[in-house]
Amino acid sequence: DQQVKQNSPSLSVQEGRISILNCDYTNSMFDYFLWYKKYPAEGPTFLISISSIKDKNEDGRFTVFLNKSAKHLSLHIVPSQPGDSAVYFCAASGNSGNTGKLIFGQGTTLQVKP
Amino acid sequence: DAGVIQSPRHEVTEMGQEVTLRCKLISGHNSLFWYRQTMMRGLELLIYFNNNVPIDDSGMPEDRFSAKMPNASFSTLKIQPSEPRDSAVYFCASGRGDPGTDTQYFGPGTRLTVL
């Protein structure tokens, strides 16, 4: 049972445009959310996070939005660059008896075309 | 400063054979995580250790999988006997502090193919 879902396996955007990656979760006890980026043949690296007490967190070209009522978060990349082409994983954690471990989604492959 | 080191990077084995994956943590980190990546399920946590003690192994698929942390900087994940459905990329990650919020640093992964 996937508690964190990324329903779009892939996304293709033009350089300079906005990339929007989506993530849904089912467990209302999740209170911390993260995005990791993964290049081929490398491990995932941390990108940005957000606590449930906020609805937006921004870091340069990357912004994460959290809609708790919809149990939905999204990652916006503006403007998108070819170097952003990677697999993006969203992850969630919470103190629901699961020891606070991260639950990852399946990942979305972003391709930014020059 | 070296990151998380995993070996081997690639492993091809036959069904029924024992497979051992190795991981060296970043110095000073006290949490160690083993993940498995598949297309269908993404990144799944198999087990995690804190200060060398296994905290949560609920993600370990079955008794064929075992993980150890013989010291503060090294861990192994063993599959015995291996099966074709174990084919995946296995990552280890290390961190310090809260496993749910603090950044985890991933190794490059071991791509396992079981024929």
Percent of chain A clearing pLDDT 70 (strictly above): 94
The number of beta carbons lying within 10 Å of the beta carbon of residue B8 is 13
* Closest to B95 (Cα-Cα) out of B40, B37, B35, B33: B33
B23 within 8 A of B105, measured Cβ to Cβ? no
Helix H, strand E, coil C: the string for chain A is CCCEECCCCEEEEECCCCEEEEEEECCCCEEEEEEEEECCCCCCEEEEEEECCCCEEEECCEEEEEECCCCEEEEEECCCCHHHCEEEEEEEEECCCCCCCCEECCCEEEEEEC
Mean pLDDT across A4-20: 96
B18 within 8 A of B43, measured Cβ to Cβ? no
Determine the straight-line distance between the first and last CA of chain A, rounded to whole angstroms.
Answer: 38
What is the pLDDT at residue A76?
98
What is the pLDDT at residue B41?
81
Q: Which amino acid is at B61?
A: P
Mean pLDDT across B90-94: 97
Measure the CA–CA gap between A29 and B81, rounded to whole angstroms.
37
Residue B26, by phi and psi: left (phi above 0), alpha (psi -120 to 50) or beta?
beta
Q: Give yes or no for A98 touching B (CB within 8 A).
A: yes
A42 CA to centre of own chain: 18
A33 within 8 A of A92, measured Cβ to Cβ? yes
Q: Give yes or no for A8 touching B (CB within 8 A).
A: no
Beta-carbon separation of A106 and B41 below 8 A? yes
| pLDDT band per the 50, 70, 90 thresholds, residue A97 | very low
Going by C-beta distance under 8 Å and a sequence separation of 6 or more, which residues neighbour residue B54?
B47, B48, B67, B69
Higher-confidence residue: A76 or A96?
Answer: A76
The nearest CA of chain B is from the CA of A114 a distance in Å of 27
Which residue of B4, B42, B55 is in closest CB contact with A104?
B42
Each residue's pLDDT tens digit, A56-85: 999 999 999 999 999 999 999 999 999 999
**Segment of A72-81, B39-48, B90-99 carrying the highest mean pLDDT:** A72-81
Q: Give yes or no for A49 touching B (CB within 8 A).
A: yes
Structure tokens at A100: 């606070």
